[in-house]
Structure 1
């Protein structure tokens, strides 16, 4: 099967539902944490995150913990008859020898197509995209308690107010943010984020969500993550960067718990995203990887509470 195309088609179908649908679904699922493997504890990456988030909301699953069929059997559990798995993609370089434990390898995430440079790809040979299927712990009977408890674990720092958590991210990144403009935007040439006055947003949560969206754009500056797509996407480069910011802001908003907030003024890009994805079956894998990089860059700079900073100094 053409796994790249199958995954792309699934995400295109999500986007076609409209921004108010996929944003709410992804952010609500993200507030429960990144999808993880129930046997290894490793988080899933890239486009697989979007697929698993959507499946979690569609199935009404409270947990973001997943297993392959073989992994479930290996811990003495059984996927219930009639349950359907979620198709995911695993990238790996062509190996000289075939491995018999492929299912175990695929279940742990693996490479992302967008992470491989042309030079590395030439040295390593063909990059293979293989399918694997995951089942949520809610679809499996007889799981050991340690796997069940992994799914019930509360997200870290979930007791903080969403607006406070967003402000800690914005403050920690120390981006230049100016208010008093007609619409939200990030200007790379000036390296500054521009926002309307706070009173012009529908809520403080939406103000924070919009600012975080622009903060994802801010991470792409040459002095930071240095994102550039002109040669690959040509005239569609701007739309692709907006897709990266859309996915990255979903990750960040979920991290903050901004599940009901709205990124204001960005609904018009959906048609452009769909055009990019329909024209390039590998684009979503690259976009998801870059969005994760931006998310990690922002979260690593989150401002600690005063008590946390004092405790760290005393420990040192």
Structure 2
């Protein structure tokens, strides 16, 4: 019971943090960087995933951090640094399963567990001697296609139709509809929109079989929009494009707020589904076999 209570407390704390930003009109996954877009990184350069990405982006936005690197208090000391006095840490979580064997039957069962610990941004640590420099800004020419991104997106196994004034994924006929490149305000807007629709595409029943995409419920439709927004942000932070605010998604905010208020696991589930879709798409986008 104590372990279950601990998990609920962790869900509550992270959800409340993201709820507060949404209620204030800020999405922690939109423009969550000061320099170039990047996924938050551990002290050893390993990327954080899922819900931790959102938590660390949110903290970086609130406190104005530029560095993508995060360290525990102990790691900072081991590297010869020191967390500045008065610095406020950020909570991240570690989820895994403990496999236990029944002593009588030898049957195995997996017991999920969730732990939380505190990390500090490299900007909060003194004495690191430039070990963790801030990323250089990425400047996109709004009138020019990015050749590298074009190649990456072309590797996605999806039918993309160009034309019209709307971007959407057609679930029944399984294709992505995109306006012409010239119709977008910037190249970033184009690639972010394409990534968003590609995340929807990845949820098709023949691929990741995501329930929120397949469902006819309006609430599930809004949840899948959240998954697509998060997934596009994760992809953009890896391959190098910014995800800006989309006016057509403002209507979903209230649905997201309701879902998060009613279910403290909702944002964790959305982040997990978004990470799955991002992994699925990035595996194709970064394939060097050809």
Query: Relative to 1, partners in 2 of residues 1:90 and 1:262: Cα closer, same or farther, differing over 3 Å?
Result: same
TM-score (normalised: structure 2): 0.80
Check the 8 A contact 2:140/2:188 in 1, yes or no: no
Could you report, residue by residue, the CA deviation over 1:219-266 in whole angstroms, capped at 9, with x for unpaired residues?
111232221248999663222211110101111233343337454522
Where structure 1 has 5 or more consecutive residues not aligned to the other structure, the ranges are 97-121
1:8 match: 15
Quick one: which of 114, 127, 139 aligns to 1:129?
A: 114
Query: Does residue 1:258 correspond to 2:244, yes or no?
Result: no
Instruction: State the Cα deviation string for residues 107-139 of structure 1 (Å, max 9, x = none).
Output: xxxxxxxxxxxxxxx9223x3333211101121
- Aligned residues of 2:37 and 2:236 also touching (Cα < 8 A): no
Q: CA RMSD in A?
A: 3.3
CA shift digits 1:265-315 (9 cap, x unpaired) = 2222111111111111111112112212222222222278xxxx7xx88xx
Residues 206 and 262 of structure 1 are in contact (CA less than 8 Å); yes or no, is this contact kept in structure 2?
no
TM-score w.r.t. structure 1 length? 0.74
SS of residue paired to 1:88 = strand
Does the 8 Å CA contact 2:188/2:242 hold for their aligned counterparts? no
Hey, what does 1:33 align to over in structure 2? 38
Partner of 1:226, secondary structure, is coil
The alpha-carbon deviation at position 68 of structure 1 amounts to 1.1
The 1:198/1:94 distance shift into structure 2, 3 A limit, reads closer
In 2, the alpha carbon distance for the partners of 1:192 and 1:30 equals 34
Alpha-carbon distance between aligned partners in 2 of 1:293 and 1:255, rounded to the nearest angstrom: 14
Q: 1:278 aligns with which of 248, 261, 267?
A: 261
Distance (whole Å) between structure 1 residues aligned to residue 35 and residue 171 of structure 2 = 28
Matched residues in 1 for 2:91 and 2:31: separation? Answer: 18
> More helix per residue: 1 or 2?
1
